[in-house]
Chain A
């Protein structure tokens, strides 16, 4: 497995973590009403979207490099 393939795996894991963490913080916010939970939740979801966009850009940029 090349660095390209491992990077795609890593970005996928990071996207999953970002959205899960966003959901975790926003559901904590619904109980605690603490502004920190709200900002962490929103920030994490935004980071998740940014990582998806980056993943697409990365795939296009390195399309000529092998996955092995």
Chain B
């Protein structure tokens, strides 16, 4: 038995089955991402301190234009099918998948950079001051600590004030390990560790590595979800978005690799399938158009 309206639109709705289905699905996706965006806003306005400049704007910009380009190529692949050009469809769809893989590749480098970047919180303000002086110099150490804190949390735009007890020293552990913690270093019977602090704010000159006593450290965390509320919501939303990109790329790749069979069997149905895949792809890209400014810029 043939399923009705799989290719031709229903006269009452004007839509074929798959298009109605994808819009119902996208409505549920709007609620999913809408809930996460709302959570982001509530967490942010409720926080005393919210960090800025934790992600690379040029990298995010590059990925944004990669996704915009992929939307252009996916719609061109659909238009090629409408015009009866299977060869052009394959070319544009391959470009779309390449863009998706490029986006995910860049995102994975971004994630890796976060997983090997650390913040160290010290037991008290006096201990923190000692290490900031060791890192940035006897005279400039305290000012460097204050400047890093003020600029990270944009204190010039908030009611919060600088507190030496809250200050953290950002940098890299020797050997760039992933996900190290105070507990994991203690379990490895380490009493000290080598730490290369980040460059002072506004410069690119990394100080020399310093030796840090584990007993002076209150907390050590890579830039992972449990680091802070900021990274928790950052990883939740961007990882969910990344999974959507991966899922979309798999579906579009399936259309590409089975195109010859569908083209012989029913070219109109292939065009409809690609349209539905393209609608999902556009939704995923539109989510990023909102994500980019709130995560990277504001």
Contact = CB atoms under 8 A, between A and B. Distances in A.
Helix, strand, loop or mixed for chain B's interface?
helix
Interface in A1-34: 1-4, 6-7, 9-11, 13-14, 17, 20-21, 24
B286 A2 contact: no
A7 B82 contact: no
A21 B61 contact: yes
B58 interface: yes
A36 B275 contact: no
Contacts of B43: none
B161 interface: no
B15 interface: yes
Contact of A3 (B15, B64, B282): B282
B61 A17 contact: no
B68 interface: yes
Contact of A13 (B58, B275, B278, B289): B289
B78 A3 contact: yes
Interface in B184-230: none
A24 B289 contact: no
Contact of B275 (A2, A10, A17, A58): A2
A47 B72 CA distance: 13
Interface of B: 14-15, 19, 23, 57-58, 61, 64-65, 68, 71-72, 75, 78-79, 82, 275, 278-279, 282-283, 285-286, 289, 292-293, 297
23 contacts: A3-B75, A3-B78, A3-B279, A4-B75, A6-B279, A6-B282, A7-B282, A10-B71, A10-B289, A11-B71, A13-B286, A13-B289, A14-B68, A14-B71, A14-B289, A17-B64, A20-B293, A21-B293, A43-B61, A44-B61, A47-B65, A54-B72, A58-B75
